[in-house]
Amino acid sequence: MNYENKLEQLDQLNQDIQSSQPISADALKQIKEYFRIGLTYSSNAIEGNTLTETETKIVLEDGLTIAGKPLKDHYEASGHSEAFDCIYNLAKKKTITEKDIFNIHKLFYYRIDQANAGKCRKLPVTITGTDYLPPAPSKVPSLMKKLLAKAPGMRKKFHPVVFAAKLHMELVNIHPFVDGNGRTARLLMNLALFQAGYPITVIPPVLRGDYIALIKRSQTGKKDDTGFVNFITCMVYESSKDYLRLLRHMSEK
């Protein structure tokens, strides 16, 4: 579970991506839909959603339900897709506000639990499989404000990919919502990456075990997030390679 830091390779790859542009609006739209399906499927699957990638595509593109699959799984796919559009729109600016984060969660979650969508939890929560205890609900509002207040400084201090990874980690640690914290954190991470010119990054469900273990490692003991940050650099690197592959394919005559 040791992941090599890929920042140097990422910077070179990002240059290759920039040199491959521009491409047509239609090609960009197709790439956007490719990553919409990929991110929605993978992020939901990490949390136990049973829809396959193909089924996710059918739900989102055809508006159909999958026989034998829970209604909640369909709601999670549709909600995540709406939140995906939200981060695309928010990427046009270079800041992230508390309202942005709560709106991302609201779009993802309102079909499932309208009363708690986009709102701070009012109850204490535990996270199964870890000794980490999230902050008491009374502390959540101030912790969120503190995070957003220091975010601009973090953005200046760290490499954009490191900033995105740390933002993800900070939100997971606060655990502001009754449910959907992981998916909101991954969407937030992608918003930060997108604002910095990086493509949408997918964490494959097959790596769920490593992903969760590295989050736990950063929350307990020495609370070192180096392993998690390195993991995210690898995920961004692999997604960037995929993005460049698509760019080159869509540019073929």
Task: Please tell me the predicted confidence (pLDDT) of residue 129.
Answer: 79
As a whole number of angstroms, the distance between CA 210 and CA 46 comes to 11
As a whole number of angstroms, the distance between CA 67 and CA 69 comes to 6
Domains of the chain listed by start with CATH number = 13-21+28-119+137-246 (1.10.3290.10)
- State the Cα torsion 35-41-42-46 to the nearest 10°: 160
Comparison of pLDDT for 245 and 223, the residue scoring more: 245
Using one digit for the tens of pLDDT, what is the confidence trace for 167-201? 999 999 999 999 999 999 999 999 999 999 999 99
Best CA proximity match to 188, nearest among 143, 148, 226: 148
Residue 178 near residue 116, CB atoms below 8 Å: yes
Q: Residue 251 pLDDT more than 80?
A: no
Q: How does DSSP classify residue 136?
A: P
Task: Please tell me the predicted confidence (pLDDT) of residue 24.
Answer: 85
Token pair belonging to 190: 């992608």
Using one digit for the tens of pLDDT, what is the confidence trace for 9-54? 999 998 888 887 777 889 889 999 999 999 999 999 999 999 999 9
pTM: 0.96
Task: Please tell me the predicted confidence (pLDDT) of residue 253.
Answer: 66
Catalytic residue among 74, 80, 168, 175: 175
Q: Is 175 a catalytic residue?
A: yes
Tell me what the mean pLDDT of segment 235-249 comes to.
94
Residue 211 near residue 231, CB atoms below 8 Å: yes
CA angle 223, 226, 87 (to 5 degrees): 100
DSSP codes of every residue in 14-79: HHHHHHT----HHHHHHHHHHHHHHHHHHHHHHTT----HHHHHHHHHH-PPPTTS-HHHHHHHHH
Token pair belonging to 102: 């709560």
As a whole number of angstroms, the distance between CA 83 and CA 62 comes to 18
Q: How does DSSP classify residue 206?
A: G
Q: Residue 1 pLDDT more than 80?
A: no
Using one digit for the tens of pLDDT, what is the confidence trace for 103-129? 999 999 999 999 999 999 999 998 887
Phi, psi of 18 (to 5 degrees): -65, -35
